[in-house]
Amino acid sequence: MTDPTHDPARTSWVASANGHPEFPIQNLPHGVFSPAGSGPRGGIAIGDSIFDVSAALELGLFGGAALSAAQEASGRSLNPLLEAGPAARQALRRAVSDLLATGGAGQPHAARILHDAAACTLHMPARVGNFTDFFAGINHVITAGRITRPDNPVLPNYRYVPVAYHSRASSVRVSGEPLKRPNGQRKLPTEDAPTFGPCRNLDYEIELGIWVGPGNPVGEPIPIGQASSHIAGFCLLNDWSARDIQSWESQPLGPFLGKSFSSFVSPWIVTAEALSPFRGPQPPRPAGDPAPLPHLLDANDQATGGLDIDFEVYIHSAKMRADGIAPHRLSAVNASVLYWTVAQMVAHHTSNGCNLMPGDLLGTGTLSGPDVGTEGCLLEMSRGGQKEIDLGNGETRRYLVDGDDIIFRAHCSRKGQVSIGFGECRGRIGAVT
């Protein structure tokens, strides 16, 4: 479903938005920002600027359904906007697009309603109530599974169940913060007994994050056909992983301290509406795989639940920064590697009556392709730490070292559409203190 807000011919009076690789007028992602010297408030990225929703409200630039949605998008947390649902979000998108379009009514107020993004601080866009991390990138399952189970990398439940675990919401933080290397119990397969100390196999996982919209009362599952109305938007998610801690602790109940020390999200919520032109059929399952059970199967979801998003992972080491070298691209992968659609994740999550809440965060699981250069984490790239990864400047890595910056980017491009981006999700590894 596209509308005039997606029109590729639509341009903005905000000159930097036209041709902007991330934030043209067709994107309009929501976030929370502080202008220099002022407090946090809701904003929308447009080119190299941020549109100040509360300033536009004070000027009386909103009316009708967009007025209440703008109020919900104006505060220091976007949970009210997430709760409001698709109709409110779409009304606000249309109103903001009209204000910022060439000839739009916002232009005379440019000095009041726009801030230079480079001078602003970006914050967590919403309070995360719960964080569930799925495992839907099947190539990650195969490649990581081969390290411990060479003959049987994919367990039999995988092709029936969108496997997930309940991760930690309190330590989800926004891009740009430092990541302190965690301490923990570590025991490599070659060691006789565990020791406690700094993680030696620190890794990232590139994932698509999903911001949950209205959600459901406990005991009332969301049917697969209605799941999309509970998916408010998307972000980049770095599920930092302490592989040595994780592998020792995870039997039999799964990851805990190897994951809970922190996960990072990109600051902008790219709305479900902005992604509309970049949807398509869910890729067919390999021959011989079972069809999803009926409660996870919906014809419309199969026809439109696939997402065409290109992800990239870059590393910028302390040496690269000192030498003035640009970040080195570690991998690139498209979201078509997801075995399950996001709607299937939502339907599965609530199928037992579990309630999702506005601001809950879902992760897809590591996005990895089958080929070299498409792996979504170092565990896969280094084959479990067995193989050196060449960074192209004389440096190598098996896992992350202190001072490394890990940078995720993502873009959507399609013929006949204006490309949009997610901004970046960035974190620098710091020493244990």
Q: Which residues bind Ca ion (CB under 5 A)?
A: 133, 205, 239
Nearest distance from C-beta of residue 361 to Ca ion, angstroms: 12
Q: Which two tokens stand for residue 112?
A: 């009041």
φ, ψ of residue 206 to 5 degrees: the values are -85, 125
Pairing state of beta strands 131-134 and 361-363? parallel
Q: Which of 20, 123, 140, 328 is catalytic?
A: 140
Cis peptide leading into 252, omega within 30 of 0? yes
Residue 203 or 273 having the CB closest to Ca ion: 203
Q: How far is the C-alpha of 126 from the C-alpha of 316, rounded, in Å?
A: 28
Nearest distance from C-beta of residue 335 to Ca ion, angstroms: 15
Among 387, 379, 334, residue whose Cα is nearest residue 142: 379
Residue 239 or 298 having the CB closest to Ca ion: 239
Residue 31 or 376 having the CB closest to Ca ion: 376
Nearest distance from C-beta of residue 91 to Ca ion, angstroms: 35
Q: How many residues does the chain have?
A: 433
DSSP symbol at 219: T
Chain-centre distance of CA 393, in angstroms?
29
Nearest distance from C-beta of residue 347 to Ca ion, angstroms: 20
Nearest distance from C-beta of residue 206 to Ca ion, angstroms: 9
Nearest distance from C-beta of residue 236 to Ca ion, angstroms: 13
Residue 35 or 209 having the CB closest to Ca ion: 209
Among 214, 234, 334, residue whose Cα is nearest residue 274: 234
Chain residue whose CB lies nearest Ca ion? 239
Q: b vs e for 137-152, b when ≥16 Cβ sit within 10 Å of the residue's Cβ?
A: bbbbbebbbbeeeeee
Q: Is 109 a catalytic residue?
A: no
Query: DSSP characters for 50-73?
Result: EEEHHHHHHTT---THHHHHHHHT
Nearest distance from C-beta of residue 239 to Ca ion, angstroms: 4
3-state secondary structure 91-155: HHHHHHHHHHECCCCCHHHHHHHEEEHHHCEEECCCCCCCEEEECCEHHHHHHHHHHHCCCCCCC
Nearest distance from C-beta of residue 167 to Ca ion, angstroms: 8
Nearest distance from C-beta of residue 175 to Ca ion, angstroms: 17
3-state helix, strand, coil in the chain (%, to 5): 25, 25, 45
With tokens 């010297």, the residue in question is: 37
Residue 206 or 407 having the CB closest to Ca ion: 206
Q: b vs e for 375-406, b when ≥16 Cβ sit within 10 Å of the residue's Cβ?
A: bbbbbbbbebbeeebebeeebebbbbbebbbb
Residue type, 203: D
From the CA atom positions of the chain, what is the Rg in Å?
Answer: 22
Q: Which two tokens stand for residue 61?
A: 């630039």
Residue 164 or 418 having the CB closest to Ca ion: 164
C-alpha distances (whole Å) from 432 to each of 132, 200, 317 are: 27, 11, 18
Residue 347 or 362 having the CB closest to Ca ion: 362
Residue 263 or 271 having the CB closest to Ca ion: 263
Residue 239 or 424 having the CB closest to Ca ion: 239
The residues annotated with a catalytic role in the active site are 140
